[in-house]
With several copies, the nearest count.
Chain A
Amino acid sequence: MHIMEGFLPPAHALGWAAVSLPFLAWGLRSIGRDLQSHPERRMLLGVAAAFAFLLSALKLPSVTGSCSHPTGVGLGAALFGPAAMVPVGFVVLMFQALLMAHGGLTTLGANVFSMAIVGPFVSYGVLRAASALGFSRSPAVFLAACLGDLATYITTSIQLALAFPAAVGGFSVSFFKFAGIFALTQVPIAISEGLLTLLVVNAMVRF
């Protein structure tokens, strides 16, 4: 879920950018180390970012009209590790802002935090936990993608609630309002996302 251009007050916009920046730097360093021994990783992450962007612009069969769901971020975290997904997610979000007016440059920091940091980390964590608990592949992948998506949406709701606490009740009331109203779109998207990721992974392992 993207926060639109200009929606966050300056302090919040800059604050979230400051929070995301170290993660981005860390991701870039981790890729940079790999490049010495695997120069083709530069290309790989570029193509992977394009593929993630393409999937995110896809209209999923059941959620008509909905687009820009963060598809592929959870999958990418499983394949490349969550660190590499920060720069990839950054590129995808930047392109969504510049090519589709989804999200924005002033809110890029906040969106990167929810979609390129929290989402992939949760997906990755769920996947690790699920395999540690002995889940078979299909439910593990579905849960990882689905929960990664939900974590993103909850993070966004927190970000909005922090910026706009309710006049009465403050942060918590505001959070439940945002989370409640966006649940209408985000919960179906998270389920579709989980389903699609599952189908993709099942198709991939066959190759």
Chain B
Amino acid sequence: MNPPILELQTVAHVYPDGSKGLHDCSLTLQRGRRYALLGANGAGKTTVLQHLNGLLRPTAGQLRIDGQAFDYSRAGLTALRSRVGLVFQNPDRQLFSALVEEDVSFGPLNLGLDADEVRARVAAALDAVGLRGHARRAVHQLSFGQKKRVCIAGVLAMQPDVLLLDEPMAGLDAPMQTELAALLDQLAARGVTVLLSTHDIDFAFRWADDIHVMAGGRCIASGPALALCAQADVLHAAGQRPPAALALHAELVDLGVLPAGPAPRSVDALLDTLRAQKHSGVITA
């Protein structure tokens, strides 16, 4: 097996004001998978993301990239950040330029690419997020969801191997969430490792391949979404209840309404299963 593309090893972080961000936090990211970083507010999700991108430096423990300990040299940071893109939660705190295409060009230009290459990347990134027609618009004329997509384009234009997103679904309504999830799926299908933080276990269960559970500044459990969400004690320790789809499925299997087998990933999928059941007319009880 390849070494993980990114890894935190027993990382601790103490903020300058003395508050503890992380302690003894370990987690790994494998190439091309979709990860959810699940935890309550204040569990340390944002701090983890900032460590993975080299914005924060561990007080103890280490960050490893491709199996190598990361050295925090200037060149190393540039290389790390060009491979690991981070999208922050609030667009108004990360967009510098008022013009969409200018802002997206910021990252690629910093990588030292020539103008033609940058132009091509900006166009491709705006295409990917569905904002090609808005290249010449002013950021302040866009909706919240569009601004969020400009932020993502700004990171995609750097063509990262790993994309980190801090609470990307916050403030988006259901159709916008579906759209964004589809975009992230596309990226993952192209081999980009995606890690997003969320406090919504139903979303994490529905979307992620693997889940890292954070509580009190530690990653208390990691694993495939299905296996992990079945561990009620772990979820409880993180202040989460089991995903609705999983809990319902378990009850319905117990009652003999549904055959045993892998649980559907969402309540909608469960509803579909029940409807199919009805048409087949078989009640196993």
Contact = CB atoms under 8 A, between A and B. Distances in A.
Q: In their complex, do chains A and B touch, with some C-beta pair under 8 Å? A: yes
Contacts of A206: 97-99
Interface in A182-207: 203, 206-207
3 smallest A-B Cβ distances: which pairs?
A: A206-B98, A207-B98, A207-B140
A55 to B, nearest CB: 16
Contacts of B99: 206
A51 to B, nearest CB: 14
Interface of A: 203, 206-207
Nearest to A204: B98
A130 B140 CA distance: 32
A203 B140 CA distance: 14
Given A203-B96, A206-B99, 7 more contacts: A203-B97, A203-B98, A206-B97, A206-B98, A207-B98, A207-B138, A207-B140
Secondary structure class of chain A's binding surface, majority of residues = helix
9 contacts: A203-B96, A203-B97, A203-B98, A206-B97, A206-B98, A206-B99, A207-B98, A207-B138, A207-B140
A115 B97 CA distance: 27
Q: How large is the interface on B (under 10, 10 to 19, 20 to 34, 35 or more residues)?
A: under 10
Contacts of B140: 207
B135 to A, nearest CB: 15
Contacts of A207: 98, 138, 140
A49 B8 CA distance: 40
Contacts of B96: 203
A153 to B, nearest CB: 31
Nearest to B96: A203
A206 B98 CA distance: 6
A94 B96 CA distance: 19
B59 to A, nearest CB: 21
A207 B137 CA distance: 11
Contacts of B138: 207
A203 B98 CA distance: 8
Interface string B70-103: 0000000000000000000000000011110000
Nearest to A205: B98
A77 B207 CA distance: 52
A203 B96 CA distance: 9
A207 B99 CA distance: 8
A207 B98 CA distance: 5
Interface in B95-128: 96-99
Nearest to B140: A207
A37 B182 CA distance: 43
A206 B97 CA distance: 8
A88 B99 CA distance: 22
B265 to A, nearest CB: 42
Interface string B138-178: 10100000000000000000000000000000000000000
A133 B97 CA distance: 31
A52 B1 CA distance: 55
A129 B189 CA distance: 61
Contacts of B98: 203, 206-207
Nearest to B99: A206
A30 to B, nearest CB: 23
Contacts of A203: 96-98
A151 B140 CA distance: 36
Nearest to B139: A207
Nearest to A43: B96
Nearest to B138: A207
B20 to A, nearest CB: 23
A207 B138 CA distance: 8
A73 to B, nearest CB: 23
A191 to B, nearest CB: 24
A62 B140 CA distance: 31
A93 B56 CA distance: 33
A75 B114 CA distance: 34
A206 B138 CA distance: 9
A203 B102 CA distance: 12
A53 to B, nearest CB: 14
A202 to B, nearest CB: 10
A16 B209 CA distance: 66
A151 B96 CA distance: 32
Nearest to A207: B98
